[in-house]
Structure 1
Amino acid sequence: MSDDNARSTDDAGKAGPAKGPEDSGDNADNGSSGNGHGGSTGSTGSTGNAGEATHAENGRPDDGAPPDGDADTDDGAPELTGRQRLVAAVWPPRVTRAQLTVAVLLFVLGLGLAIQVRSTSEGGPLRGARQEDLVRILDELDDRSARLQGEKQRLEGQQRELENSSDQAEEARKQTQQKARQLGVLAGTVGAEGPGLHITVRDPGGAVEADMLLDTIQELRAAGAEAIEVNNVRVVASSYLQGATDVRIDGHAVSPPYRFEVIGEPKDLEPALNIPGGVVQTLEKEQAAVEVSRSEKITVDALRSTKRPDYARSSQ
């Protein structure tokens, strides 16, 4: 009897997971059967417990326990792995305007750095050149530098020559102008001023003739007179005097008193006039009065027109 009840209980335990609610009815029936049979109920109960233990060891759910699918549904979503949580945190992305701006700036900065690094790493055309080629190029550069240095020195020398020639030309021009003024003074074409003598010859009796005035002019020239003017007539090397009582200088009539304006060194001119038997004594013998005075500024402003020579030409 006990073996039959155990087999029936075991069969009921195996059919339990498939039937569900019907198991409860069977268990109730078994309970009632146990109650009707007395001590055999306890045996049946123990046999049932042994069957449940057997089901538990086989990994099958106990009576009344829900299936695995239902347990997952009651506990919620399955636990996520670390990678799944990371992906869930960053995707879908939640980008703000500030983040987008920073991302664009970083992209541009990275692009610029990449371009610069690339251009720096590429180097020049000599990066892959051989050592012999580099030495040859260096020698050529040295030769070119030497040629340029020589050209520089040559040009600097030309510059100095031009500056010197320019200075010389300027100095020559100044000397030419000064010489022209000096010749103009001697030729009577330009005015002159400087230290000299005032000479006045008074001839109340009209005894002074042209040759006496000419001797006076010659004596002054011999003493170093540079410019002479007589009664507003410029006296030069080509001047001539004529007449006895009506004296003319270069065709211009002059009358007493004869006023001489003479430029030269006064201390040389005055003694030349006053030497014994000189001009002053000769004029005084003719009853003429001679007055001589020194001055630091004598002006000779009477001019002569320039006369072009008919035959003489410059040899330079």
Structure 2
Amino acid sequence: MPETATAVPPTGRAEATLLDRDAWSALEIEHQRRADAFSAAWRARRQTGEAHPVDDFLFTYYPFRPSLLRRWHPGAGVVLEGTVGLDRHEWRWYSRGVGADQAIPAGASRVDARGFLETKSSTVAFIQNLLGRTAARTARFGCFGLHEWAMVYKVEAGAVRHEALPLRLTAAQTDEVVEQNRITCSHFDAFRFFTPEARPANDRQLTRESQPQFEQPGCLHAGMDVYKWAIKLGPLVPGTVLLDSFELARDIRQLDMQASPYDVSAYGLEAVRIETAEGKKAYATLQRRFAERSNALRREIVGIVERARLL
């Protein structure tokens, strides 16, 4: 893609790509159009007070405003010509050309990758390590989305996480699904919502500290989190990568709820009945596709950080 193209010369330093104003403005407009389409329903519901327990998750669990999703960055190593007089010229984490720096012509700007990496060094290192290790790990496809079931195991009536959604089965039948299956959750931010009665049933006891050790690409929640890590890397990540990560999270969220114990038919979603052999097979098939998509993005983001360090 023209907005992310970089080259590594023999010196080992990354060269900058120069975009004129017409080129980068077209990329920005297309990014904003796509981002607006992703958030349109959420923004409309905010005006009416309605809620969507499936789609709203990406704007509530992940505390990032649609305006952040809409903000286009070219990514590290791209110089934007003609930014004088525009708000972008004053954005944080951007360096402005004053004519002395040959890498940034007068009136141009680019992401201050060095400044961002220095200021956010621990965050960037954690994300790079987590994504790299996750992508390199063998994917597991035997969890069957039972994390959502473990979150409602033996809960009292009216105390389920998504109280606006009815359960597909009775409470007793839901508990039976948990008891008759092996729970193999590898994602701490799912495991931490297990009920106290369900936690001992998991095949490992997860902690925040052990997250890089156990996170694996077959996990739906780890795939959704690629969006979180992309947005936390701010201007280093090109807009296309950020929106691809959001789109992946949106698609995964739908399967997550389709395979859950909740009845989501009122939202046009058909249940993936993981309590059956056919449902387990269907879930694992979709899970494999999401693992491929998430790993492609993980590797791309790790590469982005590595190139940014060469600037």
Q: Flag whether TM exceeds 0.5 (same fold).
A: no
Structure richer in helix, relative to its length: 1
Structure richer in strand, relative to its length: 1
Give the number of the structure with larger relative contact order, counting CA–CA contacts within 8 Å between residues 6 or more apart: 2
Q: Please report the TM-score for the alignment, with normalisation by the length of structure 1.
A: 0.18
Which structure is larger by alpha-carbon Rg, 1 or 2? 1
Q: Please report the TM-score for the alignment, with normalisation by the length of structure 2.
A: 0.18
